[in-house]
Every structure is written in structure tokens, then in C-alpha cells.
Structure 1
Amino acid sequence: MLQALYKYHGRDTSKLILGSASLLVVINCVSSFQIYAMPTFDNLELRYTSKMNKPCPQWLRPSLAGLIGGIALPLTLAYPCFMWIVMKKPGRYSRSWCLNWILGVSGMVLSVLVVTAAIWIIVTKGIGVHFFKP
């Protein structure tokens, strides 16, 4: 999409507009995992309400959203950086190589922190699920 934008409008459009469009595409890609995770959230809530015969508590919704979001976070933050390095093969220790490594590792660290925090919240608040109850 960005290639087409730069190819057809690169000469007659200001760099500010092109940069803004590129930034909006990046923000859209980074935040899109929440849209794809909604069926998973709905399925988990359906299973919880059918097993417990009561509505899902409000604290459990953000906890599960954080857990699933943290698991899906590398798909939008880290993997594209590493794939770009593998596909484009920039010079080792070049500016783009370092930037992509820093962004990729930062995305992985952020993902681990979000998953750890979500698990911590679920453990401290507790979930009344009995896996081995017949």
C-alpha cells in the first residue's frame, strides 16, 4: 500500500503528508491485533459464563485481554522487524539494522512484561475454576 502511495504520489505530494500516511499505517498495523482477538475474547467469556452460570466479572475481562493481547503482541511489534532484517539483509550494525533489532527486542520484552502482568493479575485475583472436578 505504501509502495503504491509513494510510486504514484511521491513527486506531487509533500513529505509531511506522505510521512503522516506512513505513520497512520504503522499505528493501524500495531493496534490491529485487538480486532482479531475479539472472537477469542467472546469465546472465552461464553465458556466461562456457561460453566459458572453467572456473568463474567469485569476484572477478568481486562486480565484475559491483557494475556491474549500480550501473546499476540509480537505478531505486530517484533516479528515484522526481524522479518525485514532477514528479507532485506541490511549491513550488519548499520543504522536500519540496529533500529530494527532494537524495535524487535523491545517488542518481545514488552510482550513478556504484558503477559507476566496479566498472569500476575489473574493469579492474585484468582479464578474459581476446578479443572479436575467431575
Structure 2
Amino acid sequence: MKMMKRQYRIGELAKQLKLKKFVLRFWEKELGIKPQRSIGGQRFYQEEDFETFKTIKTLLYERKFTLAGAKKELSLLNAPKKSIIASQKTDMNISPSQLKIHDEPSSIHKELLSIKYKLQRLQELL
């Protein structure tokens, strides 16, 4: 038997997030969120959309991001992650002067922001 994913209409989503419907529509437009639509044009949101809106609300209302900042942060959070593979030469006791960084500073910054956000989410759960 196939399990159906949870879908929300805009009213249900607004109620769950304690927001007004027009706020969700505005965020949709400004942040490029494309919900599924029925033949009649009614919006249907998936669980992933719910999580995205919850993240946006946290960024804007709790972490005091601007809308532009939240948009940038969302793109960083949704960026593909690089996997780190340890080699046999991995040594945890090297000095900072011995470190050689091959990544671009912007990719390191993105990773740090992602880690910071995940730590804040963990702290909220505790």
C-alpha cells in the first residue's frame, strides 16, 4: 500500500505556523517557493514546504534576518554538501600554520553558516 505524503492547504499551513495567509503568499513570491497547484489553481504544500516556511519564520522572526538575508541563508542551507574523506595522513595534532586550505573562503563560510544553523536547531530541541 502506498503512503500519501501530508499535504497542506494555505489556510492549514498558516494556522500551523501561526501566520497570516498573505505572509505565506508574500514569502512564496519573494523567495521563489513554488507549491503544487490543483487544476483550479489552489495551492497544496508538501511537508518539505512546511519545513521551509518554518525555517524562514525562524530566520526572520527569531534570528532577525532581513528577507534578502533569509533568501541567501536558504540558498546556503540547500546547497549540496561536500563530503570530507579522511586519509591515512590525517593528524588531529597539527598546528594552524601547518594547515593548507584548498577550499574557497566562500565555501568555508557557507559550511560554517550551515553548521551554526544546525547547532542552533539542536539547541532549540534541548
| TM-score (norm. length: structure 2) | 0.28
Kindly indicate which of the two structures has a greater share of residues assigned to strand. Answer: 2
Structure ranking higher on relative contact order (CA contacts 8 Å, 6+ apart): 1
TM-score by length of 1: 0.27
Greater helix content: 1
